[in-house]
Amino acid sequence: KRPKKPGEKARRGEAEAKAWAKEAEKKLKSQILAVGDRVWLRDPKYAAKEGTLTKTTGVPGLNRVEVKLDSGEVVTVVRKDAVLVEGGGEGVGAQPRSREDASSAPPRSGASAEPASSSHSSSRKTWVIPGIRVRIVKSGDHYRQKGRVHEYSNSRDEATVRLDDGGKKVRDLRGKDLETVVPSIGGTVLVVRGKYRKCKATLLDKDRGREEARVEIRDERKEVTVSLDDVAEY
């Protein structure tokens, strides 16, 4: 048996960690979280431990969820540090779910919310709303192009987007094929999830690191903090 070279184990560990982080980022683009889902944690404190989501709303702290680890310990982590385990939990391994809680869907600011968005269920409110500005993330000729949602069928989960460049209409797009576009500070946005869904607001600030936006709801003259995914240029 070949003896291990100094540092070989550490290098292998680093490679595995990078692969794990890459997989997590890929999953986070299309997942939402619901109580009962199996997740693994990418928070360094828990070293990729697995557990079951026990609470997605009312957890102290901003944008956090509660997880019961397989060891029995109950912990809270930032929502984006809980990654769905393939084949575990409602909807995992089936239709990808948008990045919000299908059962309770709180706005990511932690405020109370209405049941909300899954772009794959006609019985739930979708985040895709005509008039908002989006980016196409589906592979193909229009990948990364921006435009506005021209029309959307919730029952079929089909959107038509009118591209900014030339006004061409791209049809047969699903919710998972799109992502929101956030304007510059001072721009007008529409809240697409949670308590203030369909409310117009002014973008006051955005934090890419925390994936948060601070907006002023125009009708109420109230400032709230939401996820960047929960607002779109309008």
pLDDT of residue 90: 37
pLDDT of residue 28: 63
pLDDT of residue 62: 66
Q: Among the ranges 11-20, 32-41, 68-77, 110-119, which has the highest mean pLDDT value? A: 68-77
pLDDT of residue 20: 58
Give Cβ neighbours of residue 160 (< 8 Å, ≥ 6 apart).
149, 150, 151, 152, 169, 170, 171, 173
Average the pLDDT over 28-54 and give the result: 78
pLDDT of residue 89: 41
pLDDT in tens, 74-88: 888 888 888 877 544
Average the pLDDT over 182-186 and give the result: 94
Q: Which two tokens stand for residue 59?
A: 């957890």
> What pLDDT band is residue 41 in, cutting at 50, 70 and 90?
confident
- Which neighbouring-strand residues pair with 163? 147
pLDDT of residue 29: 61
> What pLDDT band is residue 168 in, cutting at 50, 70 and 90?
very high
pLDDT in tens, 142-158: 999 999 999 999 888 99
pLDDT, greater one: 64 or 61: 64
- Is the pLDDT at 103 greater than 60, yes or no? no
Is residue 57 exposed (0-12), middle (13-18) or buried (19+ Cβ within 10 Å)?
middle
pLDDT in tens, 115-142: 333 333 333 568 999 999 999 999 899 9
Give the dihedral sign, CA 120/39/113/208.
Answer: negative
Phi, psi of 115, deg, nearest 5: -60, 135
pLDDT, greater one: 20 or 31: 31
pLDDT, greater one: 231 or 126: 231
pLDDT in tens, 192-228: 998 899 999 999 999 888 889 999 999 989 999 998 8
pLDDT of residue 151: 95
pLDDT of residue 233: 96
Q: Which two tokens stand for residue 105?
A: 């869907």
pLDDT of residue 35: 78
Average the pLDDT over 64-76 and give the result: 85
